[in-house]
Amino acid sequence: MNRIGETTLEIDLNALAHNYAYLKSKTLPETKFLAVVKAFAYGSDMVAVAKKLENLGVDYFAVAYAKEGVLLRDSGIERPILVLHPQPAHLDCIIERCLEPSLYSTNVFGQFLKTAQEKKQHAYPVHIKFNTGLNRLGFREEDVEFILKQLWQHNEIKIKSIFSHLAASEDLNEQEFSKNQIATFENISSLLIEKLGYSPLRHILNTSGILNYPQAQFEMVRSGIGLYGYGNDAEADAKLKPIATLKTIISQIHKIKPDETVGYNRAFKSDVPKTTATLPLGHADGIGRQYGNGKGYIMINGKKAPIIGNVCMDMIMVDVDGIDCKEGDEALVFGPKKSAEAFASGANTISYELLTAISQRVKRVVIGA
């Protein structure tokens, strides 16, 4: 029987605590733990997740953009918050809200230093990001001299951490590349620390890095997807618990005659009679068109109901032939008993994309707070 009454994303904070404990068990007791809570904590509930992790003793948070950090501060989060990709428009706000920027280029470094000077800061904590092979954001080795020179001349900012990011930590075929990135990071950070006169934290591992390269923990690790219950491989997935369950309900059931079609552009056609169910979630809720036309299925009363035809903005239609169900019955899109990773990979994408796409229109229900 339906208990939810609308499409709902359930967030289980006990599962989050389990995942945090599991990932912590993979690091040394003295290794600090940074929780990545960007993008609404991977589409879940950023504030509820951050509060729970703060209570559990997490050392650091990271968000992508300043406004995500502001939301955390407004909710009373007190731990340090690293802003991974600060934008020029938000540098003032970063200082006003005690957020800590990643500085990844001479350009951003200069802009932030100027802001810190205007705001008369002293030793404001910043994080220096090095590019060791991902070629996305980061200084290169030859920039170390620039960084040192700036820091010797100006005391408005101080390096709190030095970090880098692995390009393929989940891919064991790329072990040599990853180890190379780790070695490059070790070299550059030593070079910088030697001349700095103090030792900032160093960190390079994300979730799969924690699981695959435990020797490279340095002083801190950063985890996102693992906290939310996915580990990029079957063995890790078995140890982690998905925190989010996406459920919906059957709005209407149709009996389709042979030669009738279902949905936009008549994309689904059956030559036999068929029973279909219409569910109230679509691409505007985060179930993209790639899940349509049989690429994804929904669980209804313990059975697989393939998505038929094109995904609409607000609805999907599923094939419920042979499934004992009625209007109002619950339907499971993903959760601990139906992996978001498997659902995503069936449509050629990854759990990260599926989870973060669940739009703010979907009601969140937090359990275990």
341 exposed, middle or buried (CB, 10 Å; 0-12, 13-18, 19+)? Answer: buried
Query: At 208, is the secondary structure helix, strand, or coil?
Result: helix
| 246 counts as binding ligand PLP under rule CB under 6 A | no
**Which residues from 32-61 bind ligand PLP, rule CB under 6 A?**
36
**Which residues from 108-147 bind ligand PLP, rule CB under 6 A?**
none
Torsion of the alpha carbons at 308, 310, 311 and 317, rounded to the nearest 10 = -30
| 202 counts as binding ligand PLP under rule CB under 6 A | no
| 223 counts as binding ligand PLP under rule CB under 6 A | yes
Token pair belonging to 6: 């609308």
| 356 counts as binding ligand PLP under rule CB under 6 A | no
| 181 counts as binding ligand PLP under rule CB under 6 A | no
| 315 counts as binding ligand PLP under rule CB under 6 A | no
Q: How many CB atoms neighbour CB 269 within 10 A?
A: 14
Closest CA to 161 of 111, 102, 120, 209: 102
The pairing of strands 330-334 and 297-300 is antiparallel
| 84 counts as binding ligand PLP under rule CB under 6 A | yes
Q: What share of the chain is helix, strand, coil (3-state, %, to 5)?
A: 35, 25, 40
Q: Which stretch binds ligand PLP (CB under 6 A): 223-231, 242-250, 294-302, 312-320?
A: 223-231
Contact status, residue 201 vs residue 192, Cβ threshold 8 Å: no
Shortest Å, Cβ 280 to ligand PLP: 29
Task: Tell whether the torsion through CA atoms of 12, 360, 263 and 341 is positive or negative.
Answer: negative
Task: Name which of 86 and 263 has its Cβ closer to ligand PLP.
Answer: 86
Task: Name which of 39 and 312 has its Cβ closer to ligand PLP.
Answer: 39
Shortest Å, Cβ 340 to ligand PLP: 13
Among 8, 132, 184, 206, binds ligand PLP (CB under 6 A): 206
| 222 counts as binding ligand PLP under rule CB under 6 A | yes
**Which residues from 159-178 bind ligand PLP, rule CB under 6 A?**
165
Token pair belonging to 211: 């699981």
78 exposed, middle or buried (CB, 10 Å; 0-12, 13-18, 19+)? Answer: exposed
Task: Name which of 32 and 269 has its Cβ closer to ligand PLP.
Answer: 32
Closest CA to 91 of 120, 127, 57, 119: 119
Shortest Å, Cβ 165 to ligand PLP: 4
Shortest Å, Cβ 199 to ligand PLP: 21
Residue 129 pairs with which residues in a beta bridge? Answer: 163
| 207 counts as binding ligand PLP under rule CB under 6 A | yes
d(CA 242, CA 227): 8
Q: What DSSP element (H or E) covers 19?
A: helix 13-25
d(CA 220, CA 217): 6
Among 147, 225, 307, 311, binds ligand PLP (CB under 6 A): 225
Contact status, residue 86 vs residue 125, Cβ threshold 8 Å: no
| 256 counts as binding ligand PLP under rule CB under 6 A | no
Could you give the C-alpha distances from 299 to 124, 249, 344, in angstroms and in order? Answer: 51, 11, 15
Task: Name which of 77 and 320 has its Cβ closer to ligand PLP.
Answer: 77
Task: Name which of 134 and 183 has its Cβ closer to ligand PLP.
Answer: 134
Token pair belonging to 313: 């903005």
Q: Which residues participate in catalysis according to the annotation? A: 38, 264
CA 277 to chain centre: 31
Task: Name which of 83 and 113 has its Cβ closer to ligand PLP.
Answer: 83
| 224 counts as binding ligand PLP under rule CB under 6 A | yes
**Which residues from 272-311 bind ligand PLP, rule CB under 6 A?**
none
- Closest residue by beta carbon to ligand PLP: 224
Shortest Å, Cβ 217 to ligand PLP: 14
Task: Name which of 36 and 116 has its Cβ closer to ligand PLP.
Answer: 36
| 26 counts as binding ligand PLP under rule CB under 6 A | no
Footprint of ligand PLP (CB under 6 A):
36, 84, 165, 206-207, 222-226
